[in-house]
Amino acid sequence: MFTSFFLKMLNREAASSKNESERIIESLRIQEGYRIADIGSGGGYFTLKFAKKIGKTGKVYAVDSQPKYLDFIRQQAEREGLDNIIFVLVAEDEVNLPEAALDLVFARNVFHHLTEPARYFRNLKRFLKPSGKLAIIDHKPKSGFSFVSIFRHYTPERLILQEMEKAGYFLMESLDFLPEQTFNLFGVK
């Protein structure tokens, strides 16, 4: 019961106007038939949006370490008649996806949870097509009293850029329209 409530809250937050979800999706230039991994898919807000955008010929991999989260997304997908989502339960640091098959890896509010981000994203490179891209969105540091600052649910952008360089990526584009988050697109070197 709590899990369902929590995931609905996550989805409501993702959908809020300040988080500009439609603009995020537009910025990713997703095409019909794309293969996308939604890393740390949580409540599935973006998983479901991607599944609608890519059509029947595409695939979205909802990747999470929490089985209840994946069950929640599965129920939502069934309700909406979406059958192009593959549910991938993973251990914290181990992801298993098709090699060189993904057009996009999407990681929103995940980076700050990783203990070794360079190693984690280096391992993900093998799943991207040579022309594939990786999108990382994470909270900006906040001063004062907030959930983000108290629980350190943020990563300074310079640290993201450094870790991604170490992981073997190059910065394709840095987007600055999100008021509380950084949004960077990377390609494989």
Write out the residue range of the structural domain in which residue 44 sits: 2-188
CA gap 4, 2 in Å, rounded:
5
Q: Which pLDDT tens digit goes with each residue over 77-124? A: 999 999 999 999 998 778 889 999 999 999 999 888 788 999 999 999
Residues of the chain with pLDDT under 70: 1-2, 11, 141-154
CATH number of the domain within which 167 lies:
3.40.50.150
Quickly count: other Cβ atoms within 10 Å of residue 164's Cβ: 22
Per the CB < 8 A criterion, the answer to whether 153 and 139 are in contact is yes
- The partner residues of 174 in beta bridges, in order of sequence, read 184
Q: From 11, 31, 27, select the one nearest 80 (Cα to Cα).
A: 11
How many folded domains does the chain comprise?
Answer: 1
Does the predicted TM-score (pTM) go above 0.85?
yes
Q: Are 43 and 5 in contact (CB under 8 A)?
A: no
CB burial string 116-129: b at 16+ within 10 A, e below: ebbebbbebbebbe
